[in-house]
Structure 1
Amino acid sequence: MLRIKDLVKRYGKDEAVLKDLNLEVPGESVVAIIGASGAGKSTLLRCINRLVEPTSGSIDLNGTELTTLSGGELRLARRRIGMIFQGFNLINRLTVMENVLSGRLGYVPTWRAMTRNFPQSDIDRAFQLMERVGIAHYANKRADELSGGERQRVGVVRALMQEPEILLADEPTASLDPKTSRQIMELLRALASELHLPVLINIHNVTEAKEYTQRIVGMRFGRIIFDSVPTDLTQDAMDEIYAGVPAEERGETGDPESLREVVSQ
């Protein structure tokens, strides 16, 4: 369970990016965060894993207060938070297996990390997960030889190698074509169920959010103004979340049935 209470993030003397934000994410759930650019979506995710330092408030992950940790305690806590990035964040010159095994860096001694001498149990787990997402046959291929969808699957497996208690995905489909985007969203939904993981996804594509997640959180100017099931995301709610944003920039790409036909072709 992730519990966020009264979270504030302010840069210098500027207006707060996050304003007294409260959110709970239970286990085995897939939650989408939507909102216009500047709403605070990415900042929220980066506060959770402390890539951005919160100004005040509480972030509790399964009984551990993340905002008070530092040094070794923070490094240990970060092992429990898997992060999937829009830009993949792979090391291009390394193989798929080497990139995947980097998810174990927080668990092995420095000498093993430097020599890439990982335990056989880690290698076996990497193959198992790569087989699950359909990239095991690329194990010895360089990361820069893969397509965008394949690279994102590597990023997903790398995050899972951390044995995380929560997955955070920051615009995981923004760099992908529509068909591949939907495949990645389907994969995240399936993994949340199979591994009993909460998944929190910052996503621009509202249509995908409505089809592949169980709950949608709408943000505007650093506050949560909508929090409900996808069927409750009416046009009025959309207009409030995206007030002033042109329709073509709201991430609505058509009805799910028509998109499903595209994917099946």
Structure 2
Amino acid sequence: MLRITHLIKRYGNGEPVLKDLNLEVPDESLVSIIGASGAGKSTLLRCINRLVEPTSGSIELNGQELTTLKRDELRKSRRRIGMIFQGFNLVDRLTVMENVQCGRLGYIPYWRAALRRYPAEDIERAFHLMERVGIAKYANKRADELSGGERQRVGVVRALMQNPEILLADEPTASLDPVSSRQIMELLQNLADELKLPVLINIHNVAEAKEFTRRIVGMRFGRLIFDGKPSDLDDDAMDAVYSGTPSDEREDTGAAFTRAVTQ
């Protein structure tokens, strides 16, 4: 269970990016966060794993308060939070296997990682997960030789190698073509079911959010203004989330592709 209570994030003396935000994500949930650019979606995810420091409020993961953790405790807590990035965040010169093993850096001694002497059980699990997402054949290939969809699958496996208690995905499909985008969303949906893992996805593509996730949270100017099932996201709810927002911020090319092929 992720429980966020009265979360505020302010940069300097400016207007808060997150304003008294409250959110609960139970176990085995698949939740998408929608909203226009600048709504605070990425900031919210980065506050959860402390890549961004909250100004005030509480963030609890399975009963542990994350906002007060220091150094070693924070490092250990981050092992429990898998993160998938829009820009993949891979080391291009390393192989797929080596990038995947980066998910174990919080568990193994530094010398093992430096010498690339990974434990046998970690290698076995990596192959199992890579096989599951369809990239096992690329294990010895450099990351910069892969397509965007393949690179994001490496990012997914790297996050799963942490054995996380929650998975955060920050615009995981924004850098992908429409077909790869849908494949990644379907993969996250299936993994959430198979691993009984709560997944929180920040996404611009409303059509994919409605198709692949079971709960949608809408943000506007740092506040939660919608929280419900995809079927509840009607025109009025969309207007509340995106009022005054250009239509191209509501729907990216992946959504347009989805609409086109279903007409």
Alignment TM class, shorter chain as reference:
over 0.9
- Using a 3 Å threshold, how does the CA distance of structure 1 residues 244 and 126 change in structure 2: closer, same or farther? same
Cα deviation, 1:43-81, whole Å, max 9, x if unaligned, reads 000000000000000000001100010110000000000
In structure 1, the partner of 2:160 is 160
CA contact (8 A) 1:90 1:143 kept: yes
Structure 1 portions without partners, runs of 5+: none
In structure 2, distance between residues paired with 1:125 and 1:102: 13
In structure 1, the partner of 2:20 is 20
In structure 1, the partner of 2:48 is 48
Identity %: 75
Q: Which 4+ runs in 1 deviate beyond 3 A?
A: 254-261
- Using a 3 Å threshold, how does the CA distance of structure 1 residues 106 and 260 change in structure 2: closer, same or farther? farther
In structure 1, distance between residues paired with 2:135 and 2:36: 33
In the comparison of the two structures, how many residue pairs are matched? 261
Deviation at 1:248, TM superposition (A): 2.7
Q: How does 1:172-187 map to 2 (within 5 A)?
A: 172-187=172-187
Deviation at 1:29, TM superposition (A): 1.2
CA contact (8 A) 1:96 1:140 kept: yes
In structure 2, distance between residues paired with 1:69 and 1:157: 26
Cα deviation, 1:165-224, whole Å, max 9, x if unaligned, reads 000000000000111100000000000010010000000000000000000000000000
In structure 1, the partner of 2:77 is 77
Q: How does 1:89-128 map to 2 (within 5 A)?
A: 89-128=89-128
Q: How does 1:205-216 map to 2 (within 5 A)?
A: 205-216=205-216
In structure 2, distance between residues paired with 1:125 and 1:260: 38
In structure 2, distance between residues paired with 1:194 and 1:160: 12
State the TM-score, normalized to the length of structure 2: 0.97
CA RMSD of aligned residues (A): 1.3
Structure 2 portions without partners, runs of 5+: none
In structure 2, the partner of 1:245 is 245
Deviation at 1:227, TM superposition (A): 0.2
- Using a 3 Å threshold, how does the CA distance of structure 1 residues 84 and 29 change in structure 2: closer, same or farther? same
- Using a 3 Å threshold, how does the CA distance of structure 1 residues 193 and 260 change in structure 2: closer, same or farther? farther
Deviation at 1:240, TM superposition (A): 1.1
In structure 2, distance between residues paired with 1:257 and 1:236: 20
CA contact (8 A) 2:133 2:153 kept: yes
In structure 2, the partner of 1:11 is 11
- Using a 3 Å threshold, how does the CA distance of structure 1 residues 151 and 131 change in structure 2: closer, same or farther? same
